[in-house]
Amino acid sequence: MYDKSRMRQQECGVTVWFTGLSGAGKTTICQFVEKELRIQGYRVEVLDGDAVRQNLCKGLGFSKEDRVENIRRIGFVAQLLARNNVIVLVSAISPYRQIREEVRQITPFFIEVYVNASLEVCEQRDVKGLYKKARAGEIKHFTGIDDPYEIPLCPEVECKTNEESVAQSATKVLKKLEELGYIVARMNDL
């Protein structure tokens, strides 16, 4: 729980969009960043791709069109929250570059975080067994196996999770937020 007496007045919100393959570490880094921002007293909301799909986008499948619509909806909600001075952390595979760019265009304050881990590393981390099922043909249109992932061309932050700890990756995101003036620099590092 955070100290409400330390609540800060945020001048404007921002959308921090974590993109990468399943198992790259998007949600883990996002949770670390969320915890740190809450401790500092910032208003933060997390839009996790899996949770949004179960609630807001329940009727969508995994075709390219449905994936694009899923990201469009997440982007719309993120934009609404950010314009109300909330730091929005989005953790979603969002495999297609064009829809990520479309979301960037409708979101005035947007930071793209490429959570970079090789397909091999992601498959090794696969606690849900999704990659194994995709390789066996049990799951169709699985990103990285039979559906493409388009790597960001110019992300504001790149987290190489097969080389960095969670804390190191999260610190890169927090430092970018500081550098761009969305949060105030702390006296001590994480």
| Rounded CA separation 42/19 (Å) | 22
Strand-pair partners of 64: none
Who wins on pLDDT, 55 or 143?
A: 143
Model confidence at 8: pLDDT above 90: no
Residue whose token pair is 């949004």: 52
pLDDT in tens, 109-132: 999 999 999 999 999 998 888 899
5, two tokens: 């007496």
Entry pTM: 0.89
Phi-psi region of 63 (alpha: psi -120 to 50; beta: other; left: phi over 0): beta
pLDDT in tens, 27-67: 999 999 999 999 999 999 999 887 777 766 666 767 788 88
Domains of the chain: 4-118+150-179 (3.40.50.300)
Q: Which residues are catalytic?
A: 94
Evaluate whether 21 touches 117 at the Cβ level (below 8 Å): yes
Model confidence at 107: pLDDT above 90: no
pLDDT of residue 6: 37
